[in-house]
């Protein structure tokens, strides 16, 4: 639109002002404030002494921090590929014309809108030994002998699988929707042409559908990696970070350090380590997405 320079500047500022105020006060300012906090011994009550680089030195040598980062990374590795494969599978199911089409679309997405607490507790109950749904079902079909139980929540490997399965159930709906809308954009002619050329279902899936989904897969992969890296609530409810802190992710460690051990300065330092990891991942995402396209 055409308008006078100065007037445009003032108007733009007025329109941006509400956003800028909140953004600066609660995103930018904490970012800066956090840097200050990393140089202090800082408790919930007040700022204590200046300690220079001690927090940073300690973080680098803190085995708990690396272990918690590692746990978050394990969760990324477990959840990202399964989220993608399951997302595609569910989209394939709901994309096919059938009387149940609308039902499929709803049922695959509904868990995603449950409150995180509800989803986590349902998961916790489903995988309980003795009274949980999974073990009961396994007993019922005699895969699991009577009077034996699988301890889904208290053995490290199984606890990871449990948390991943619950998270899949709870959040795969978002990926499912993204894949479904991408699939619906593939032109029918492409399928018809390949059918005329004698391609079978298998070939059509691998040679047409999957390549068409490549851009959305790239996007989902990166969003998923970053989202999974920030995991906290499900693990907090389902395993509490146990057994023996073996599933405790970095966010939980930051929370415990700040609020249970009363050391906000050190917790802030940890969160900058997390920030750097996420920044590297985001930069990677930007690089991958823009390797071929020149635009922003």
Interface with other proteins includes 8 (CB under 8 A)? yes
Distance of closest approach, residue 27 Cβ to other proteins, in angstroms: 6
Phi-psi region of 147 (alpha: psi -120 to 50; beta: other; left: phi over 0): left
Interface with other proteins includes 12 (CB under 8 A)? yes
Interface with other proteins includes 27 (CB under 8 A)? yes
Distance of closest approach, residue 130 Cβ to other proteins, in angstroms: 8
* Touching other proteins, residues 172-211 (CB under 8 A): 174, 177-178, 180-182, 201
> If 0-12 CB within 10 Å is exposed, 13-18 middle and 19+ buried, where does residue 163 land?
buried
Which residue in the set 34, 129, 242, 243 belongs to the binding site for other proteins (CB under 8 A)? 34
Give me the 89-118 binding string for other proteins, x by CB under 8 A, dash otherwise.
xx--x--x-x-x--xxxxxxxxxxxxxxxx
- Give the span between the Cα atoms of 116 and 251, in whole angstroms: 16
Distance of closest approach, residue 107 Cβ to other proteins, in angstroms: 5
Give me the 209-248 binding string for other proteins, x by CB under 8 A, dash otherwise.
----------xx--xx-xx--x-xx---x-----------
- Neighbouring residues of 219: CB distance < 8 A, sequence distance ≥ 6: 178, 289
Which residue in the set 19, 97, 292, 295 belongs to the binding site for other proteins (CB under 8 A)? 19
Give me the 254-293 binding string for other proteins, x by CB under 8 A, dash otherwise.
xx--xx----x--xx--xx-xx--xx--x-----------
* Touching other proteins, residues 44-83 (CB under 8 A): none
Interface with other proteins includes 160 (CB under 8 A)? no
Distance of CA 204 to the CA centre of its chain: 31
Interface with other proteins includes 163 (CB under 8 A)? no
Closer of 160 and 272 to other proteins (Cβ): 272
Binding segment for other proteins (CB under 8 A), chosen from 63-71, 151-159, 187-195, 250-258, is 250-258
Distance of closest approach, residue 32 Cβ to other proteins, in angstroms: 8
Distance of closest approach, residue 157 Cβ to other proteins, in angstroms: 22
Which residue in the set 63, 97, 131, 189 belongs to the binding site for other proteins (CB under 8 A)? 131
Distance of closest approach, residue 290 Cβ to other proteins, in angstroms: 13
Binding residues for other proteins, rule CB under 8 A, total 94
């Amino acid at each position: 639109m055409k308008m006078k320079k100065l007037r445009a500047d003032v108007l733009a500022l007025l329109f941006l002002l509400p956003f800028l105020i909140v953004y600066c006060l609660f995103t930018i300012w904490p970012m800066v404030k956090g840097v200050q906090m990393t140089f202090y011994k800082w408790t919930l009550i007040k700022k204590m002494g200046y300690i220079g680089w001690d927090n940073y030195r300690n973080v680098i040598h803190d085995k708990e921090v690396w272990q918690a980062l590692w746990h978050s990374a394990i969760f990324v590795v477990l959840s990202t590929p399964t989220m993608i494969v399951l997302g595609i599978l569910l989209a394939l199911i709901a994309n096919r014309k059938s009387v149940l089409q609308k039902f499929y679309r709803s049922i695959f997405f509904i868990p995603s809108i449950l409150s995180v607490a509800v989803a986590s507790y349902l998961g916790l109950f489903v995988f309980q030994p003795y009274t949980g749904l999974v073990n009961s079902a396994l007993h019922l079909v005699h895969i699991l002998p009577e009077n034996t139980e699988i301890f889904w929540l208290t053995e490290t490997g199984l606890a990871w699988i449990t948390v991943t399965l619950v998270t899949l159930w709870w959040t795969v709906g978002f990926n499912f929707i993204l894949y479904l809308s991408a699939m619906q954009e593939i032109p029918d002619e492409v399928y018809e042409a390949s059918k005329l050329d004698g391609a079978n279902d298998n070939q059509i899936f691998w040679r047409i559908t999957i390549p068409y989904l490549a851009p959305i897969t790239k996007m989902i992969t990166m969003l998923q990696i970053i989202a999974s890296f920030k995991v906290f609530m499900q693990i907090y409810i389902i395993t509490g970070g146990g057994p023996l802190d073996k599933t405790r992710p970095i966010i939980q460690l930051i929370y415990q350090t700040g609020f249970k051990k009363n050391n906000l300065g050190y917790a802030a330092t940890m969160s900058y380590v997390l920030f750097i990891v996420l920044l590297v991942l985001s930069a990677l995402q930007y690089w991958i997405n823009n390797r071929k396209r020149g635009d922003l």
